[in-house]
Amino acid sequence: MNRETFAIIGNPVGKSMSPQLFQTAYPQFSQGSYLLLETDDCQKAMELLKVLRIKAANVTMPLKAACLPMAEKISEEVRQTNATNLLRREKNETWSAWNTDVYGVRESFLAAGVPIQGKYALVVGAGGAGRAAALALTQAGARVSVANRSVREGLFPLDAIPRLLTTCSLVVYTLPVKKEDHLFLTLTKDHTVLDASYALAPLRQAAERAGACYLNGYHWLYHQAVEGFRLMTDLPPNTAAMRQWLGLEKR
């Protein structure tokens, strides 16, 4: 039985599905191999990873950017998004940072049979998840617009969403809270919507009302975890068991 230990760090993480998903992916690992480490302090998080001899850790809010200075090596996706969702201890005891959210977004659309190349896309939110979504879609050949609560160069305000929806077919919603429904009244059956949050599903009702293709956050969770678990363990996860546990065939 494998005795290596893994974790998720961030705040809050108490309701994270990652421990159960990890155990489903790797039944050969001992129970308790994946820990919940709740903190919003990066220094404390890194100390816990060191003391507990964590081999690799998923990273969630609010540490996706804060922990980057702790990594000696960063992937190209991390460099471009300035956000990590995975830290891995290397053999020389340094840390490397990765971003599998980029993979998760791209594969969520492609695995559902939704092409990206040549499409117009709207990403709502410019935090770590939003930047990963924008990069994934851009790399896959889409033309991407980003709407955000705070506006700066290159971003649209949230009240531009109704107009932007009339020109795009792909939508990724990454804000931590649901915004007003009136912003999404121009959704149609020609849109495909991906929610980042599997817990809140903020755009489910609007998408279903419009007859749009709706991909809930379990798709994103699954695809980023497949890539992330490989990086964490150097072993292929049981993807069939993961999909069954998440209920993706029925969602």
Contact 86, 59 (CB under 8 A): yes
Beta strand pairing call for 86-89 and 56-59: antiparallel
* Residue 29 neighbours by CB distance under 10 Å: 19
- According to DSSP, the residues that pair with 88 across neighbouring strands are 56, 96
Distance CA 171, CA 193 (A): 5
Rg of the chain's alpha carbons, rounded to an integer?
A: 18
Residue 44 bears catalytic tag: no
Contact 195, 217 (CB under 8 A): yes
- Amino acid residing at 156: F
Q: Which of 44, 50, 55, 64 is catalytic?
A: 64
Contact 127, 106 (CB under 8 A): no
Catalytic residues: 64
